[in-house]
Chains A and B, each alone.
Chain A
């Protein structure tokens, strides 16, 4: 393979990658509702990171495996806000009691409500197509 051919292929790839990156950064990831996070949600997100909760928990199945996925914990039928609050305030055998203030617990709960509003995980009614793709909760998300 000639060096010039390799360079042409490389630059074609890089150009396609730049266009693709710009597109992913700006399109295809619209949220189902457009409410921007308020101050309390932002504080909850910061606290979530400072306590490194993602080491054990997941959002949309992404994160650690020691604890459960939290995407919809505040809206799940047998769980809910009080359930989440109780765990945050008291901890468990596997989760430390961080001794958080009431304001901090509120911020984390508000953050979990914000996460809940972004979608559903695991998908409730996935439709598997013969060629291997899946319509996840068809109709709810942008297709």
Chain B
């Protein structure tokens, strides 16, 4: 029977690894609930004990947890091991993890037992938002007290991570303004505030994830300019501008004043600059790909690059109000959400996971599971286009459906929903093939005694994995 590698083991300041492990478990579970939810579109009675109104929040909350836990885990790990700085407080980081774990478990329990009371995406009883607030305060204190010690110029990813933390806290707070009668009693105002907060909230986790992508590329290419250039900061400020002001493309048909919609339209179109840059840099991206294509973290980043292009085109299309008229409230929006979550965020975060793993277990140990991981990588990236195409086609049928006979419309798109389910199973299996070895290896690092098979390898010491440590990509 295959044994997991046992060393190097986690040290007391490796709290980031626990976040990464929990994040991967959250993704594995989210995929499972996602597939059950998808099957319920065709067979509502499937697993009767878990109705769709419970499955959806379980799937969505676990997917959001995957993004946050893995991004946060990476940040803790990279600050502790690559920045040359000492984390302000390991104890605070452990409390952060503990609160996240306990609150997350209670929230999942609430969903399973049908205890709701919140709004879409935060359906749990509002009182459970309090420990989440607290955990982000802890994270913010730890982050800023650590990076403020650095006197030299900050790389752009420090700015992005800091922005992500601050804006998550602010927009999460904003998403609870519905508790105040001033907002709750005016439904239009409440929708505006709700979706303004959600738009910025997505922008905040994009800051955490894209900051991680730039960090990884800086380390892989060993090019500090990547995170210090004017272009890097220009794109950061463009992202921040969209995070702050670009939310209203989610709500074009809601009867707000026209200026809210028109302003969002203008803001959204500034992302054409990013699209132009991707096209402009295409040849250069291919030459970098040829150099690093055998290095697993880079392959995930390259896959994310392609999905950024695809999803950016889709995002720009659905941000034009005249086109949004036919896509709003349809499966096209689901395609956009799934495309960004799986194609972009998940690919970047898996790159982060494998980058960390390679440094903890070594390339040789990691390569023992290269087969299933490679199959999983291609199965995921092969299933995703089919999955998105089915959703786009279903969405366009719904968006152009001549009347409001919902039942007939759903009957018409049923074959597309079947494709959606089958490709969704492909996505789940593909990502599980990637995750299972990674979870096993990370578990062996975090809980070494349980998996100790007596291999005599020197144990890691604090700071043993300093800046630019590790075997790195094949050149």
Contacts and interface: CB of A to CB of B under 8 A. Distances in A.
Interface in A75-110: 76, 93-94, 96
A37 B255 contact: no
Contacts of A13: 237, 240-241, 244
Contacts of A54: 119-120, 123
Contact of B189 (A29, A119, A126, A136): A29
Given A56-B52, A121-B253, A133 B322 contact: yes
A24 B325 contact: no
Interface residues of B, number: 68
B117 A58 contact: no
Given A24-B196, A24-B260, A31 B187 contact: yes
A52 B52 CA distance: 10
Interface in A106-135: 114-115, 118-123, 126, 128-129, 132-135
Q: Which of A60, A63, A114 has most B Cβ within 10 Å?
A: A60
A114 to B, nearest CB: 7
B153 interface: yes
Contact of A29 (B114, B192, B262, B404): B192
Given A49-B118, A58-B329, A62-B120, A143 B188 contact: no
B325 A36 contact: no
A1 B227 CA distance: 12
A95 B22 CA distance: 33
B331 to A, nearest CB: 6
Nearest to B119: A49
A66 to B, nearest CB: 5
B186 A31 contact: yes
A105 B56 CA distance: 24
Contact of A62 (B159, B195, B244, B322): B195
Main secondary structure of the interface of A (DSSP, over half): loop
B406 to A, nearest CB: 4
Nearest to A72: B404
A119 B255 CA distance: 7
Contacts of A137: 255
B257 A119 contact: no
A75 to B, nearest CB: 12
A52 B53 contact: yes
A76 B403 CA distance: 11
B437 interface: no
Interface string B173-198: 01001000001111111011101100
A28 to B, nearest CB: 4
B258 interface: yes
A21 B243 CA distance: 12
Contacts of A62: 120, 191, 195, 250-251, 254, 329
Contacts of A30: 186, 188, 257
Given A53-B53, A61-B253, A119-B254, A128 B188 contact: no
Interface of A: 1, 3, 6, 9-10, 13, 16-17, 20-21, 24-25, 27-32, 36-37, 45-46, 49-56, 58-69, 76, 93-94, 96, 114-115, 118-123, 126, 128-129, 132-137, 140-143
Given A134-B321, A134-B322, 16 more contacts: A1-B230, A6-B233, A24-B260, A25-B177, A30-B186, A30-B257, A49-B116, A52-B116, A54-B120, A55-B54, A60-B251, A63-B120, A65-B330, A121-B253, A132-B322, A133-B261
22 contacts: A10-B237, A21-B174, A29-B188, A31-B187, A32-B255, A49-B116, A54-B123, A60-B191, A64-B56, A65-B331, A66-B40, A94-B40, A119-B254, A126-B325, A132-B323, A133-B322, A134-B321, A134-B322, A136-B255, A140-B255, A141-B255, A141-B256
- 5 closest Cβ pairs, A-B complex: A61-B329, A28-B257, A68-B406, A141-B255, A119-B255
